[in-house]
Structure 1
Amino acid sequence: MLNELATQHSDDTRGRKREYWNEVLETMPWREVERWQAQRIDQMLAPLRQRSDLYWELHADVDLEREIRSLADLSDLPFTMKDHIRDAQDRASESEPFGANQSVALADIVQTVSSSGTTGRPLYYALTASDVEVWTDAIANNFFTAGVRKSDVVAHLVGLPMVAGGLPYADAFRRIGATLCWLGGFPTERILREMRRLRTSALLATTSFGIYLTEQWDAVGRETGVPSALRTVLCGGEPGLNQPEIRERITRGLGISQLREVMGLGDVISAMWGECEEHDGMHFNAQKHVAVELIDPQTGATVPWEAGATGELVYTTFARDATPLVRYRSRDHALVIGTDCRCGRTSPRIRCIGRTDDMLIYKGMNVFPTAIRDLITQRFAEDVGPMVRIWKERADQVRFDDPIAVDVEASPRLDASAYAGLATAIAQAVRAQLQVRIEAKVLEPGSLPRSAYKNSLLAVRGSS
């Protein structure tokens, strides 16, 4: 039953038809899912230590006889950090170009996936044919949870095939059976026109690019004379859909009924979390292939999956041949929304609230850039647009002794004479609530650059 990939159907208590990619795992009590995962991890660990030089070294002091009976037992294993992966890749050779964590022969590797490199130099991950199948199934499960169906015509707007959101996403849309329209890489104007002409019903884009599309959607509709068929939009790649103002902006601007947030990690699987039809947090949808823990980022202690809990997401790939990961610290910080759902799925539901890699320190006070952005766009929703840019003087800058420079776009309805006063009010609000000082600058609408891929909230002066 756990290997069945076909869509399953059941009725909820109100008589509505519920659809699942893998009903058994998606509706099984979560503790039972974790016990099943623990068995798979226990079977995987000993062979892994023989295949991977990285884990032979990391687990040198681990009791190999201890049985993994539950995910709680993983606490005896060390974390894998991104620096471990970087160091392992630096030990590449002609036969092992992926370094010390390449766990299969080069002849068995069929695909390379690159991280986006938004938090440092890109990392490369190898996939065997079996790994590609795992990725495709998990991502398809996620997109199915997020509302994509066989009847959809999907506009895929990630333009780089090698990144984790490129070819793997395309494979997943095809696995669902949807009609793939890979428009990423074309100029924005062409993307918008072709979406109309191809009658696309679903769209995948980064959150910020989804906002950008709303600014031109109606105008292109008038130009082409083709009515919009768009009804489902999947956004991710960056935080933002936790804000009602941004969700309303995209929903209204594109005239859609379904806006779903999705999230993954290129190091693990590039889409693992996705919103269901309840629109209340992202479910974990990769449970067939990956185990997830929530930990206290300061102490490393496990945090229970309880509504209101916060912590860092940690992943273990128990069905990965070429470049496996055990207790990999994602640096993604999550807020648990709930542990049950009216959709019938039992996996935890979360919102991403920031990344450790993006943390800023203003005179000893830690702050996530997303916290600054969220406060501004929520408190001043009537006067500002959703695009915000926080500036650093150099790429490695974390500490700020002077106020943090923040650019904010004004709402089109705001007169330019009010910009200075709004900037002062924004700086005061951030100081009062977050205890950090910023130097806010209000710009004309459309002043900040948009990209079809990720639009970084943080930028370095002179680089963008």
Structure 2
Amino acid sequence: MWKGFAMAEEYWNASLETLPWAEVENWQAGRIAAMLSGLPARSSLYGRLLGHQELSLTGFADLARLPFTMKDDVRWAQDQADDLRPFGANQGAPLADIVQAVSSSGTTGKPMYYALTGADLEVWTDAIANAFFTAGVRKTDVIAHLVGLPMVAGGMPYADGFRRIGATLCWLGGFPTERILREMRRLRASALLATTSFGLHLTETWDAIGRETGVASSLRTVCLGGEPGLNEASIRERITDGLGITRLSEVMGLGDVVSCLWGECAAGNGMHFNAQKYVAIELIDPETGAILPWREGATGEIVYTTFEREATPLVRYRSRDHALVTATSCSCGRTSPRIRCIGRTDDMLIYKAMNVFPTAIRDLILQRFAGKVSPMLRIWKDRADQVRFDEAIPVDVEATAEVAPSAYPALAEEIGQFIRSQLQVRIAVNLLAPGSVPRGVYKTPLVVVRG
């Protein structure tokens, strides 16, 4: 939350951001209906998925009659690539109209590629600017963009969004960490964009390297995303205090849909949906697929429909992101739901008969043992496709400097017992000295594979 915050909210798109949510959905329904009418003809994927469906919509609720698009459907479509359609069976526009390709990071498997026409690029840039404007970035900011890979969803598209806002873009991603910290001082960076784990990493040397420059910090606003973590108070506190900032905002998106869709306003307590001009959202029960209402306290999987996408459109795309709805109204005046991402279906582990998100293990450890452990944890798998554990799940936990090495065995035992009591899951805790868990310059994975 913005310290000393007093509400005098500005909006990127006031008419939509403050419209009652039911009216937003009604407005979207007409645009979805128009998009669906020609979709099977221009996308072979949707000719396959929707070819025998009734595509007329009389209201937003009718969207639930259509089938979901699954990740495997998108992978199949990309596997159909040929010389005329390098983006596969869901390339909904001629190659001559496509101006940019966006890549997934490839951290969870074979990279995926998404195409943008000139019109799609305009949609993305506007939606991304909207999300970062909600998150606190203004045209008076000098923003340090710390994602070093231009082609990924958080690379060039984010740079376009910052420029659309009018902020001064300083793309420092890719430089060594020490240089990033020095140049941020010299350039008087007032805002920063990074992954959550890299933001944590920066706190470890922010003050020491900053003092070497002799330039006081201008940093006020930090936007972090790309991985869960900011739902945990101890992580937020460590970043806020470690970087000496007044505002910490979480952001989230999908390269498949729009690379930044959600942004946290100054009121905090979750991210608002900011792409309602171009994308519709549903909340579903991940087990049954049933629609769930946007209600405070609800949990479910987010489903996206892009109704202003030419090149690689998506209808009822199951994101595999599991969200907690933190609120459906806000003092900032925005009417879109607010959420925290609590895990991904892909990340789910099974200990005997118990399902558990790795983030749940991490968050509970940080809540109970704050001050004794750092946010840098690693959960180990024996192979990439391992989901089931019949023995205790191996977890590396990094101790803080306040814990004496002689106390590590007892603390490890206490952590293991606490997780078992809370989650009915056994973990094998390996306590490590401070700084032992490797830090990444992009993402620091919570789950890693041996070898």
TM class by smaller structure: over 0.9
C-alpha deviation, 1:80, in angstroms: 0.4
Does the 8 Å CA contact 1:205/1:452 hold for their aligned counterparts? no
| In 2: Cα distance, 1:199 partner to 1:439 partner | 45
2:143 match: secondary structure: strand
2:248 match: secondary structure: strand
| In 1: Cα distance, 2:265 partner to 2:210 partner | 29
C-alpha deviation, 1:452, in angstroms: 2.0
| In 2: Cα distance, 1:115 partner to 1:15 partner | 38
Structure 2 counterparts to residues 200-239 of structure 1, below 5 A: 200-239=189-228
Which residue of structure 2 aligns with residue 27 of structure 1? Answer: 18
| In 1: Cα distance, 2:273 partner to 2:255 partner | 15
Moved over 3 A (4+): none
Match of 2:63 among 54, 62, 74: 74
Match of 1:18 among 9, 33, 47: 9
| In 1: Cα distance, 2:97 partner to 2:111 partner | 23
Does the 8 Å CA contact 1:35/1:69 hold for their aligned counterparts? no
| In 1: Cα distance, 2:66 partner to 2:123 partner | 24
Does the 8 Å CA contact 2:7/2:332 hold for their aligned counterparts? no
Does the 8 Å CA contact 1:111/1:127 hold for their aligned counterparts? yes
The code of the aligned residue for 2:371 comes to E
The code of the aligned residue for 1:279 comes to G
Which residue of structure 2 aligns with residue 119 of structure 1? Answer: 108
| In 1: Cα distance, 2:171 partner to 2:337 partner | 31
Does the 8 Å CA contact 1:362/1:437 hold for their aligned counterparts? yes
Structure 2 counterparts to residues 142-157 of structure 1, below 5 A: 142-157=131-146
Match of 2:88 among 83, 92, 99: 99
C-alpha deviation, 1:16, in angstroms: 4.4
Match of 1:362 among 337, 351, 354: 351
Which residue of structure 1 aligns with residue 34 of structure 2? Answer: 43
2:111 match: secondary structure: coil
| In 1: Cα distance, 2:226 partner to 2:7 partner | 31
Report the number of matched residues: 447
C-alpha deviation, 1:15, in angstroms: 8.7
The code of the aligned residue for 1:353 comes to I
Q: Does residue 240 of the first structure (1) align with residue 229 of the second (2)? A: yes
C-alpha deviation, 1:192, in angstroms: 0.6
C-alpha deviation, 1:61, in angstroms: 2.5
Q: Does residue 138 of the first structure (1) align with residue 146 of the second (2)? A: no
Structure 2 counterparts to residues 418-429 of structure 1, below 5 A: 418-429=407-418
| In 2: Cα distance, 1:307 partner to 1:301 partner | 18
**Aligned-residue CA RMSD (Å):** 1.0
1:107 match: secondary structure: helix
Deviations 1:363-413, CA, capped at 9 Å, x for gaps: 011000000000111110120001111000000000011110000110111
Deviations 1:282-317, CA, capped at 9 Å, x for gaps: 000000000000000000000000000000000000
| In 2: Cα distance, 1:23 partner to 1:15 partner | 19
Which residue of structure 2 aligns with residue 303 of structure 1? Answer: 292
| In 2: Cα distance, 1:365 partner to 1:320 partner | 39
1:288 match: secondary structure: coil
Which residue of structure 1 aligns with residue 44 of structure 2? Answer: 53
Which residue of structure 2 aligns with residue 378 of structure 1? Answer: 367
| In 1: Cα distance, 2:6 partner to 2:244 partner | 28
1:299 match: secondary structure: coil
Deviations 1:67-92, CA, capped at 9 Å, x for gaps: 31322111110100111011111111
Which residue of structure 1 aligns with residue 333 of structure 2? Answer: 344
| In 2: Cα distance, 1:176 partner to 1:34 partner | 26
1:20 match: secondary structure: coil
| In 2: Cα distance, 1:223 partner to 1:39 partner | 58
Deviations 1:219-268, CA, capped at 9 Å, x for gaps: 01211111000000001111111111010000000000000011111110
The code of the aligned residue for 1:216 comes to T
| In 2: Cα distance, 1:16 partner to 1:455 partner | 35
| In 1: Cα distance, 2:285 partner to 2:99 partner | 37
Does the 8 Å CA contact 1:339/1:349 hold for their aligned counterparts? yes
Does the 8 Å CA contact 2:143/2:169 hold for their aligned counterparts? yes
| In 1: Cα distance, 2:323 partner to 2:108 partner | 18
C-alpha deviation, 1:118, in angstroms: 2.5
| In 2: Cα distance, 1:132 partner to 1:217 partner | 35
Does the 8 Å CA contact 1:148/1:232 hold for their aligned counterparts? yes
Deviations 1:128-180, CA, capped at 9 Å, x for gaps: 00000000000000000000000000000000000000000000000000000
C-alpha deviation, 1:455, in angstroms: 1.4
Q: Does residue 313 of the first structure (1) align with residue 316 of the second (2)? A: no
| In 1: Cα distance, 2:209 partner to 2:371 partner | 26
C-alpha deviation, 1:60, in angstroms: 2.3
C-alpha deviation, 1:121, in angstroms: 1.1
Does the 8 Å CA contact 2:347/2:357 hold for their aligned counterparts? yes
Does the 8 Å CA contact 2:395/2:430 hold for their aligned counterparts? yes
| In 2: Cα distance, 1:284 partner to 1:120 partner | 27
